[in-house]
Amino acid sequence: MRRTSLWPATVAVAFAVLVTGCSTSTPVATPGFAHVGPYAVGAATFDLGSAGPALGEQLATVFYPADASKLAGHPLFSYDLEAPLPAALQAIVPSKYNAVITVDAHVDAPGSPHGPFPIVLFSHGFGASRLYYSHLLTGIASWGFVVVSADYLERGLLAEATGHASDTPAKDLQTMFASLTATELASTSPSSPLHGVADPHEVAAVGHSAGGETAFDALKDPRVDVAVGWEPVGPSGPPSHKPAMIIGDEGDIALTPAALTGEFKKFPGPTNFVEISGEGHDTYTDICTSIRDGGGGLVGFAESVHLVSPDLAKLANNGCTIKDLPPERSWPIAQYYTVAELRHGLGIDRNPIGLSAPAARQFPGFTVTYRQHS
């Protein structure tokens, strides 16, 4: 299998850290994966087809390496937190619960001429949206990945709000691979900004919470080489022997450290487990920032009109209260280890660069525990 070479990581990490953990390898220098990578990022959205009258059109947003010399005229990607809701529900959301999220990705910018790049298929959590992870996904794309975030509508925000939510692992895999097919087609189309950008021979999967199950299930497909789960539900069947990573948080009230440790032990390896102190289940999302900043964000509105169950609302708020550290401070840790795992699992880095306990003074205010087994 051909391996794609990315620019070397030469950026020095300047964060301070409190670290505990263990490692079987010590890097010579700390890679810069926590920071913005060497590529400008583009953002494009395409239609995956109808999911039926109750849920509507299924979309995928792709964050990809862009041509830095051709960004002029391509505005930054932004979305309203209420965007996943139908117009009728958007009309009744008070402005205090909404927010506009903008990330450093340029809409429909031409793809980088340095591709093709590996494809990363992303699966969101239960009651969430393809859009709600845009900050983290943009950061990952800046390291030379085509990150495809699809709507998993059967367990998305709209399904939860309208009583149509269901847990369907097989359907989720269909959605994931439909988004892969759409990305491959876009990469072959001269009229697409993704033309020539995506490499269908280099595929990974990443997922949050229920989306972690989808990411790990995808490893059964011969096209997928490595998977990463953020606060993940385990695979629906026996774990794969392919490379995998679990990233968890000490304060998660659902996928607790004990639960994820048990999950980690079930994986046959090679598997890495990262545990981050001081954060919770929803820390990975853009919506966490609006919850923490006051008013409860869209989750606060959903609670006020009983559009989500109390248990799901509690989970959505976990890690996002004013007592928690700002999510923007933990995103670099998740990005760092996700990028390191993807690069090694796809063969970009033959040696496991960054796959160890972090260096002293690397992530301020956090204790990061690292474990691995083969």
Report the pLDDT value the prediction gives residue 26, as an integer from 0 to 100: 43
Report the pLDDT value the prediction gives residue 105, as an integer from 0 to 100: 98
Domain 40-345 class in CATH: alpha beta
Distance set, CA 39 to CA 33, 35, 77, 157, 367 (Å): 12, 12, 16, 31, 29
Q: State the Cα–Cα distance between residues 177 and 181, nearest whole angstrom.
A: 6
**How do the pLDDT tens digits run along the chain, 374 residues long?**
333 434 333 332 222 222 333 433 444 478 999 999 999 999 999 998 755 555 567 799 999 999 999 999 999 999 988 777 766 667 767 777 778 899 999 999 999 999 999 999 999 998 788 999 999 999 999 999 999 999 998 786 666 656 666 678 999 999 999 999 999 999 999 999 999 999 999 999 999 999 999 999 999 999 999 999 999 999 999 999 999 999 999 999 999 999 999 999 999 989 999 999 988 999 999 989 888 876 666 666 666 666 667 777 788 889 998 888 999 999 999 999 999 999 999 999 999 999 999 998 899 899 999 999 98
Instruction: Say if CB 269 and CB 241 are below 8 A apart.
Output: yes
Q: State the Cα–Cα distance between residues 125 and 263, nearest whole angstrom.
A: 18
**Can you give the pTM of this predicted structure?**
0.88
DSSP for 265-303 reads HHS-SSEEEEEETT--TTTTSTHHHHHHHTTTHHHHHHH
What ranges do the domains of the chain cover?
Answer: 40-345
Report the pLDDT value the prediction gives residue 268, as an integer from 0 to 100: 94
Report the pLDDT value the prediction gives residue 129, as an integer from 0 to 100: 87
Distance set, CA 224 to CA 51, 54, 65, 111, 176 (Å): 25, 31, 20, 23, 11
Report the pLDDT value the prediction gives residue 126, as an integer from 0 to 100: 84
